[in-house]
Structure 1
Amino acid sequence: MEIAVSPTISFHSPSSFSSPRAIKLRRARVSSSPGTLYQKVQLMQQRQLGDRNLEEAEIAAIIGACRCYRMPDFAQKVLFDMKSLGIRPGVATLSALLLYCMKSGLIDEAEALWCEIINSSIVPSVGVVSCLVDTYVRTREFEEVMRILDEAASTGFSFTSQLYSAAVNCFGSAGQLDMMKAVVKDMVSRGFKVDSVTGNDFLKYYSMYGPLVEMEAAYEQLKKSRILIEKEAIRAMALAYISQRKFYDLGEFLKDAGLGRRNTGNLLWNLLLLSFAANFKMKSLQREFLAMIEAGFSPDITTFNIRALAFSRMGLFWDLHLSVEHMKSKGVVPDLVTYGCVVDAYLDRRLGRNLSFVLDKMNVDNSPVILTDPLVFEAFGKGDFHSSSESLLEARRQRIWKYSELIAVYLRKKYRANQIFWNY
């Protein structure tokens, strides 16, 4: 069957199966000729599909290729023609039509298809129903979402728990915390267990959109459920604390989460160091850094840069020098943030002539990279050299820079600024 050439679109009998390669070729021909495709779709609406019989996989493929065209009554016409030929629409066809209607914004037609699915013995995929839920969330028809969840649970779909998880994610990402909470309550009341993914999503979105009190309450609920908090939720809670400058509370949360965990890497320890460094509690910072090493964790670039930023802002040159030496001994390559700590520390105190004392021990011929965790910038901000170099790198993306060149440009900039100042 040549979709891109033939003036008609028709069906194979379900008993005759085309090869997967043939179906891919048909789909490629359909998608590569939009003008012809639109003409075929019009013909598909206008005439019956009985010239030949197509297998259902091909029908679904053609319907999928039609999603870029919005044509009301398209789904009803396809179903009517199939039924008139004695072809019973299967899960692939109904799912493809449902997705077509949702992508085209034909919500009423999508609702009619959903009713047909619910009232039949057909079981759609969780992806299709999740897409329907997401569409209703985006159009803010929250009651419809709850109705779909209720119908899916009442029908006994095996993926109902996954559908609840998808609804939690949809409501959470839209900032609808009350509806997200209602979905979880309904899920539990029906006897479904809140799994790790759902629990962590619940906490993550409360961290992103809710007040700290409700976020902490969600965290306590997670603990009571014996669900382990994962990286994304940890980062979301840390960001919430950092944004509110609640560094003590951040430290307490991290200790409660368990600093000995290995599955999060250095994340918990780095955030704990950040909670002390951001308040410039240098003795506590050093104590916890030693505790991290004693616990068997090896410092990474973020660990070193958290300390370097604190040393730089405090003007602790010897500590900064030792930190660079420690990085070298551990085989940790400095990034743009590390160089910025060194350059800003010396220039801010008008000690630019001594800058080579540290830079001679660093490879300034390397190309600049940023490997530091972005949460560090939420607490410290970006240094002057860091911000200036990023602007330069973004302005001239095609050029391959070296740290030495960025430093030279920055020194000239600072020199000109000083000359302008003294000329006044």
Structure 2
Amino acid sequence: MEIHYRSTPSYPLCQLITFKCKHSSVLALQNHSQTRALARKIIWQWKKEGCFNGKDNCVACASVIQALSRKRMPYLAEELLHEVLVKGFGPNKSTLSALMLYYAENSLFPQAQAIWEQMLNSSFLPSIQLISKIFDAYGKVGNFNGVTEILHLVNSRNFDVLPEVYSLAISCFGKGGQLELMEDTLRAMISRGFSVNSATGNAFVKYYSIFGSLEEMENAYYRLKRSRLLIEKDGIRAMSHAYIKEKKFYRLGEILRDVGLGRKNVGNLLWNLLLLSYAANFKMKSLQREFLRMVDSGFNPDLTTFNIRALAFSRMYLFWDIHLSLEHMKHVNVVPDLVTYGCVVDAYLDRRLGKNLDFALNRMTLDDCPEVLTDPLVFAALGKGDFHLSSEAFLEFKAQRKWSYRKLIGHYVKKHQRGNQIFWNY
């Protein structure tokens, strides 16, 4: 979309207000000093030529004000807004929204509150996207009173978006660890007759997992279950991380069974976490038994499934099981990642079997580019192997080189051999 003034302004003015698409303008492409100079010119041009006549011109003015706000020049945006008001034109909703968001993101809360009240008095209905961004900005600096005030104002006007605003406020309080405010908002939401949806219920479980105790987290989960709502992926991962952090692997297994291992909509997540609960305690027979149950239940093992088993086999130096696992991966076309290679390398070198390392590696593709595709929850429970940590350091600080598994293993083997040598000083 291109917007031009009906009058014929000078070139800098056209450069400022010609918009190439819906969300970008030439103004946004200028650097800070150029923007300031051009913005001063547009203010002078608009005052001189009286360019505030016509609806299209007012729309262009609003767009420039938004661009100035994005360029962190609110004083120029305010000056333009003042000129609009002087000419008798009221600012539109998008202009006020852009200014309010800028104030909120820069902790200018009184100004943001004033714009908010001006929007309501002008009968502008704030969009749910704007409210979400405002809540995020307030939450980042811990201004939860501001979130409460906005929620009360929306509540007093009985907007149609009120249920969504309640959900946004609950998420905002949860992200900030304000569990009591989260509970109070939920009670207020229910008292207004609004039902709790799946996203809100899962948010409770997630934030109690992060900021509450295990007992509080479990109470939130059972409350969700009594509401006949299913816990989703984010909630499952948050609860599992809480159990792993406290090393409560038995309780993790129990809650996973309660969630239901047969759920297909979360993929292999539940089964992988169950296998992880056994691998973390090196209960190898239970690990193998549950793996067979997983396959019999119709689930196809993925890379994370194989690496959970490979890490346990590697730590227990079960070489035959490692080889069988690699053959199984090859058979079902699951490509190994850095973690898989690390399991093989660490097991052989820890047992001083470096000469036999090629026996396992010759069956693997060594010229691929290294990458880690394993679920991070695995590392939270089992940690990272020595080869994995060493390789990450190489990949991070020597990114200009084209690394392959072959090169990484070669460097690591040399490093390991040097570390085993003893030098005597005479």
1:205 aligns with 2:244: no
Partner of 2:409: 407
Identify the residue that residue 16 of structure 1 maps to in structure 2: none
Shift of 1:52: 3.3
Rate the CA distance shift 1:419–1:47 in 2: closer, same or farther, 3 A. same
Q: Distance in 1 between matches of 2:47 and 2:105?
A: 22
State yes or no: 1:244 paired with 2:246: yes
Query: Is residue 110 of structure 2 the alignment partner of residue 146 of structure 1?
Result: no
Question: Do 1:4 and 1:36's aligned partners in 2 also have CA atoms closer than 8 Å?
Answer: no
Task: Flag the 1:329–1:157 CA change in 2: closer, same or farther, 3 A.
Answer: same
Letter matched to residue 182 of structure 2: M
| Contact 1:134/1:167 (<8 A) preserved | no
Aligned match for 2:103, one of 96, 101, 104: 101
Which residue identity does 1:302 align to in structure 2?
A: T
Query: How many angstroms does 1:40 deviate by?
Result: 4.4
C-alpha contact (below 8 Å) 1:70/1:104 kept by paired residues? no
Structure 1 counterpart of 2:12, from 5, 13, 18: 5
Cross-structure match for 2:294? 292
Residue 276 (structure 1) aligns with: 278
Deviations 1:317-338 (A, max 9, x none): 1111111111111111111111
1:359 is matched with 361
TM-score by length of 1: 0.88
Name the residue aligned to 1:15: none
CA distance in structure 2 between the aligned counterparts of 1:259 and 1:6, rounded to whole angstroms: 63
Separation in structure 1 between the aligned mates of residue 77 and residue 235 of structure 2, nearest angstrom? 43
1:36 and 2:37 matched:
yes
Give 1:215's match in structure 2, choosing from 189, 195, 217.
217
Look up the equivalent residue of 1:34 and give its one-letter code.
T
Counterpart in 2 of 1:345? 347
Q: 1:113 to 1:393 in 2, by over 3 A?
A: closer
Does the aligned pair in 2 maintain the 1:49–1:81 contact within 8 Å?
no
Whole-angstrom distance in 1 between the partners of 2:272 and 2:128: 38
Moved more, 273-282 or 253-262: 253-262
CA distance in structure 1 between the aligned counterparts of 2:10 and 2:424, rounded to whole angstroms: 77
Going from structure 1 to structure 2, the CA distance change for 1:154 and 1:365 (only over 3 Å counts) comes to same
Percent of aligned pairs with the same amino acid: 51
Further displaced range: 159-168 or 259-268: 159-168
Q: Are 1:194 and 2:192 matched, yes or no?
A: no
Q: Deviations over 1:363-394 (max 9, x none)?
A: 22322221111111111111111111221222
Q: CA–CA distance in 2 between the matches of 1:266 and 1:256? A: 16
Change (3 A) 1:356 1:240: same
Deviation at 1:135, TM superposition (A): 3.3
Alignment of 1:176 onto 2:174: no
Partner of 1:66: 68
How many equivalent pairs are there?
414
Structure 1, residues 377-421: CA drift from partner, whole Å, max 9, x if none?
111111111111221222221222222222222211111111126
Q: Distance in 2 between matches of 1:22 and 1:376?
A: 44
In structure 1, the gaps of 5 or more residues are 11-18
Q: 1:97 to 1:418 in 2, by over 3 A?
A: closer
Residue 52 of structure 1: aligned partner: 53
State the partner residue of 1:312: 314
Q: Residues of 2 paired with 1:3 and 1:192: CA distance?
A: 55
Change (3 A) 1:382 1:24: closer
Counterpart contact for 1:95–1:128, Cα < 8 Å: yes
Instruction: Call closer, same or farther: CA 1:3–1:153 in 2, change over 3 Å.
Output: farther
What letter is aligned with 1:205? Y
In structure 2, the residue matched to 1:326 is: 328
Q: If the length of structure 2 is used for normalisation, what is the TM-score?
A: 0.88
Q: Is contact 1:98–1:110 with CA below 8 Å preserved after alignment?
A: yes
What displacement does 1:47 show? 8.6
What amino acid sits opposite 1:334 in the alignment?
Answer: P
CA distance in 2, matches of 1:225, 1:410: 53
Corresponding position: 1:254 with 2:252: no
- Partner Cα separation in structure 1 for residue 138 and residue 414 of structure 2: 56
Change (3 A) 1:73 1:179: farther
* Deviation per residue, 1:19-52 (Å, 9 max, x gap): 9758778x32465241324414765998996653
Query: What is the root-mean-square deviation of aligned Cα atoms in Å?
Result: 2.9
Q: Distance in 1 between matches of 2:378 and 2:77?
A: 53
Question: How far apart in 2 are the matches of 1:22 and 1:232?
Answer: 36
Deviation of 1:134 after TM superposition, in Å, equals 3.0
Partner Cα distance (2:278, 2:105) in 1:
49
Tell me whether 1:164 sits opposite 2:162 in the alignment. Answer: no
Cα pair distance change 1:72/1:300, threshold 3 Å: same
In 2, Cα distance between the equivalents of 1:417 and 1:70? 57
Work out whether residues 27 and 67 of structure 2, in 8 Å CA contact, stay in contact via their aligned partners in 1. Answer: no
Q: Deviations over 1:278-304 (max 9, x none)?
A: 101111101100000001001111111
Post-superposition Cα deviations, 1:92-127, rounded to whole Å, max 9, x if no partner, equal: 333233224334543222211211222342212112
Equivalent position to 1:264, from 258, 263, 266: 266
Q: Give the Å deviation of 1:65.
A: 1.2
The residue aligned with 1:232 is: 234
Counterpart of 2:89 in structure 1 is 87
CA contact (8 A) 2:27 2:35 kept: no
CA distance change for structure 1 residues 125 and 329 in 2, over 3 Å: closer, same or farther? same
For 2:323 and 2:23, locate their aligned partners in 1 and report how far apart those are by CA, in whole Å.
61
- Asked whether the 8 Å contact 2:66–2:95 carries over to 1, the reply is no
Q: Is the 8 A contact 1:57 1:92 kept in 2?
A: no
